[in-house]
Structure 1
Amino acid sequence: MRWTGWTVAYVLGLVALVFAGAWVWWQQEPEARGTEVNALWARHQWVGEPHSDAEYRELAERLRHNRITDVYFHTGPFEADGTVPPHKYRYARQLIDAVRKYAPGVRAQAYLGQIRVVDGDGVIELDDPKVRAQVLRTDAAFLDLGFDGIHYDFEPIYPDDAAFITLMRQTRELTRSRGRLLSVALEQATLMDTVQPVYKTLLPRGGRYHEPPRPNRDFLRAVADLADQVAIMTYDTALPTGALAGWHFARHTRTTLELIGDRTTVFIGVPTYRPLMHWAEDLDVALRGVRRGIDDLERPPKRPYGVGVYADWTTGPDEWALYRAVWLPRTAVSGAGT
C-alpha cells in the first residue's frame, strides 16, 4: 500500500509540473501576426440551396473583410461509387458566379470527401480503381462548373494508404491540366514517429479502438509534394487548460511549417466552435497558439501559409472580430472596413 501511495503521489507531482510549466510558457505574448492567405470551410447550403443577391454580397464582403483567399464549399459527400448526385449542388453555378463578381481573387474550391473504408468499415473504397476513376470524373464535373480547385477530406487516412496517394497523384494531373488547385485536409501529424509501432502493436486496426490515423513525416511530405495546399485539422484537442491546448497548436504549427512549409501552402485549422467536451479549446487559444508556433520558427516558410477557419456556420461576428484583432496583419486590420 505504501508503494501505491508513493506511486500516485509521484504521478500527481509530474502532472502538476506539466500544468505549471505549460502555464508559465503560455504567459509570453506572441509577436507574430497572421498573413493575407487564409482559408474557410463553408457549409453545404451554399451549393444546395438558393440564395439572394444580398446574401451573396454579404458573403463576399465577409471574405474580403477577413482576408479569406480560399473557401472550401462543401459540395459532397461522395456516394460509395464516387459520384455526387447533381441535385445536391444544383446552385453551385450561381455561387461561383457570385464569388467571381463580388469577391474577385477569392478561390472557390469544391470540398469533397467521405468516410474511407478501413477493414470493412466505412463508405467509399478508394482501393478500388473503378471508384477512383469515378471520383476523378466527379472532380472534372465540378471543375467544369467553374470551381477553382478540388479540396479532399477523406477520413480516416493512414500513412500507409497507397490508394489515397494514387488518387492524389491522379487528381493532381487533372487539376494541373485545367490550371486549377488541389488541396487536402489532413489530421495533425504525429510529433514522434518512433512511437507509432507501439500504437500498431497495442491498438491494432479494427474495432472501436485502433491506431490513430495520423500522417507521419514521410507521408505528410509525400502529400505536400502532390497538393497545392494542405489544411491541417488541428482542432478537437480535448485538453483541459488553455495553456495545454495552446501548446498543442503551437507545436503542430511549428512542426508542420518546418516539415512542409517550403513545399506547399499550409493552413493550420482553427475552430470557432467550443463544444463542452473540448474543454479549453476556442478560437482565441488556437490563434494565440499558432502565433507562438510561428514565433518559434528559425525562419519563415518559403511558401504562403495561414489559418483555416472551421467553419463558416459556427463563426459569428464576435469570432470574426477576434480573428481580425489578433491574427490579421496590423496593416490589414487598420485598413479594413467595418
Structure 2
Amino acid sequence: MKWFLQRVLAALAAVVVVALGAAVLVRVQFTGDPASWAVSDGSNALWMGHAWVDGRSGEAELEQLKPRIEQGGISDVYVHVGPLGFDGRLDPAKHPELEGFLRMFRSELPDVRVSAWVGQRVEKGELDLGEEAVRERVVEASERLVESGVDGVHYNFEPVPNNDPGLIALLESARDRLPGETLLSSSVPTVEPLAGVAFTLGLALSKDPFWSAGYLGRVAEHLDQVAVMSYDTGMPTEGLYGGFVVRQTQVAMDAVPEDVHLLMGVPAYADDHAVRNPEAETTAAALRGVRLGLSEGGQRREGFGTALYADFSATGGQWESYMDGWARPDGSQGQDG
C-alpha cells in the first residue's frame, strides 16, 4: 500500500511540474509580432452545420455566407451529414438534401471543395474503432457519400485515445477503398506542448488530454488534410490560450508531413463550459497564436491554413476577427462578439 501511494504521489508531482513548466512556456510565446508573410494563402477550411443537408438552410443562407467564404480564402468546407450510429452505420435519412446542397453550392462556389463531415463519440459503450465490423461500416458509409458527389470525407471521432490503433486501421482501409481523387481529412485533438507530456499525464489521468506528436504524425501519413482542434483547451486567460496555440502550431508543423495540408482549428462559437472560457479562447487570440507559431518556422509552409468552427455559430464580430487577423491582416484586430 505504501509503495502504491508513493507511486501516486510521484505521478501527481510530475503532473504539477509539467503543468507549471508548460504554462510558463506557452505564456511567454504569446509575445512579439508575427511576420508579415505569416498570413492566409487562401487554403483555409470551414466547418458547416447539418442544416445545409436537412433542408433548413438554402439559397438565402448561402447568399449571406458566400462573400465570407470568398473573402476569407476558404478552399474547403466540411458539411455535417449526420452522426454515425454506434455500430458505424450512417442513415441516409440524416442528410436528405445532400445532393441538392451540392448542386446549389457548386453553382455559386465551384472552386471550393466539399467534404462530408462524419463522426461519433468513441468512448466505452459508444462507437468502437477497435472493432473491425464497425470500421467496415464506416468505410461503407464513406463510399456511399463519395458516390453522392462529395469531393472528400472528413472524419471527426472524439475522444480518440493517444496511440489508438483503431483509427489508424480505419484510415488505412478508407484510403485503400475510396477513389484515388477523394480528399481524406480528419479533425485531431490538441498535441502535447512538450515531448513526454502525453505519457506523463497518462499516468495520472483516466483520459488522454493530448496526443503525442509521434501519433499525430502516424495519423497524418494516411490523410490529405489534418485539422487540429486547438480550442476547448481549458486555458483560463487569453495570454495562456494564445501561447498554447503558438505551441500547438509549432508542434503540428513539425509532426505533420509537409505534403499533408495542415489546418489549425480556430474557435468561432459562444460555448462556455468546463474546458472553455470564451473570454480567453477568442477568435482573435487563436489567429494571432497561429501567425506567431507560423512565424517561428522562418518561412511560409506550403499547404497551411486555418479551419473556422463554425458557420452556424460564428458572430459578425468573430468573422471580422477572422478577416482582420488572418485573411487580410491590416494591422487592426476585429473584436469577437
Are 1:160 and 2:156 an aligned pair? no
Structure whose residues are more often helix by fraction: 1
Q: Is the 8 A contact 2:198 2:210 kept in 1?
A: no
Distance in 1 (CA, whole Å) between partners of 2:30 and 2:140 is: 48
- How far the C-alpha of 1:144 sits from its partner, in A, is 0.8
Aligned to 2:183: 181
Aligned to 1:6: none
Aligned to 2:73: 67
C-alpha change, 1:178 and 1:58, in structure 2 (3 Å) is farther
Give the percent of matched residue pairs that are identical in Structure 1 and Structure 2.
Answer: 30
- How far the C-alpha of 1:186 sits from its partner, in A, is 0.5
- How far the C-alpha of 1:105 sits from its partner, in A, is 1.0
Aligned to 1:234: 230
- What residue ranges of structure 2 are gaps of 5+ in the alignment? 1-15, 331-337
Deviations 1:179-227 (A, max 9, x none): 1100000001112342434333322xxxxxx132522122111111110
Following TM superposition, the consecutive aligned residue runs of length 4 or more in structure 1 with deviations greater than 4 angstroms are 18-21
Aligned to 2:33: 29
- How far the C-alpha of 1:261 sits from its partner, in A, is 4.9
Aligned to 1:133: 136
Q: Which amino acid aligns with 2:318?
A: E
Aligned to 2:241: 245
Deviations 1:61-108 (A, max 9, x none): 332122111111011210022112111100000111112110011111
Are 1:109 and 2:109 an aligned pair? no
TM-score norm. by structure 2 comes to 0.83
- What residue ranges of structure 1 are gaps of 5+ in the alignment? 1-10, 204-209, 332-338
C-alpha change, 1:217 and 1:47, in structure 2 (3 Å) is same
Q: Which amino acid aligns with 2:226?
A: V
Q: Which amino acid aligns with 2:265?
A: G
2:34 partner SS: coil
Q: Which amino acid aligns with 2:121?
A: I
Q: Is the 8 A contact 2:193 2:244 kept in 1?
A: no
- How far the C-alpha of 1:300 sits from its partner, in A, is 3.1
Deviations 1:233-289 (A, max 9, x none): 001122222211110011111111122151310110010124444141100111111
- How far the C-alpha of 1:161 sits from its partner, in A, is 1.4
Q: Which moved more, 1:292-301 or 1:85-94?
A: 292-301
Distance in 2 (CA, whole Å) between partners of 1:20 and 1:164 is: 31
- How far the C-alpha of 1:318 sits from its partner, in A, is 2.2
Aligned to 2:253: 257
2:53 partner SS: helix
Deviations 1:93-135 (A, max 9, x none): 0111112110011111100011114xxx241122221211111
Distance in 1 (CA, whole Å) between partners of 2:236 and 2:131 is: 42
Root mean square deviation, CA, Å: 2.4
1:308 partner SS: strand
Tell me the matched-pair count: 305
- How far the C-alpha of 1:19 sits from its partner, in A, is 7.2
Q: Is the 8 A contact 2:26 2:244 kept in 1?
A: no
TM-score norm. by structure 1 comes to 0.83
Aligned to 1:266: 262
Aligned to 1:48: 54
Aligned pairs for 1:286-325 within 5 A: 286-301=286-301, 303-325=302-324
Q: Which amino acid aligns with 1:185?
A: S
1:152 partner SS: strand
Distance in 1 (CA, whole Å) between partners of 2:93 and 2:26 is: 54
Larger Rg: 1
Distance in 2 (CA, whole Å) between partners of 1:238 and 1:201 is: 20
Distance in 2 (CA, whole Å) between partners of 1:161 and 1:170 is: 15
Aligned to 2:146: 143
Q: Is the 8 A contact 2:214 2:255 kept in 1?
A: no
Q: Is the 8 A contact 2:26 2:240 kept in 1?
A: no
Deviations 1:159-186 (A, max 9, x none): 32112101001111233x2511000000
Q: Which amino acid aligns with 1:133?
A: E
C-alpha change, 1:51 and 1:156, in structure 2 (3 Å) is closer
Distance in 1 (CA, whole Å) between partners of 2:110 and 2:145 is: 19
Q: Is the 8 A contact 2:26 2:247 kept in 1?
A: no
2:207 partner SS: coil
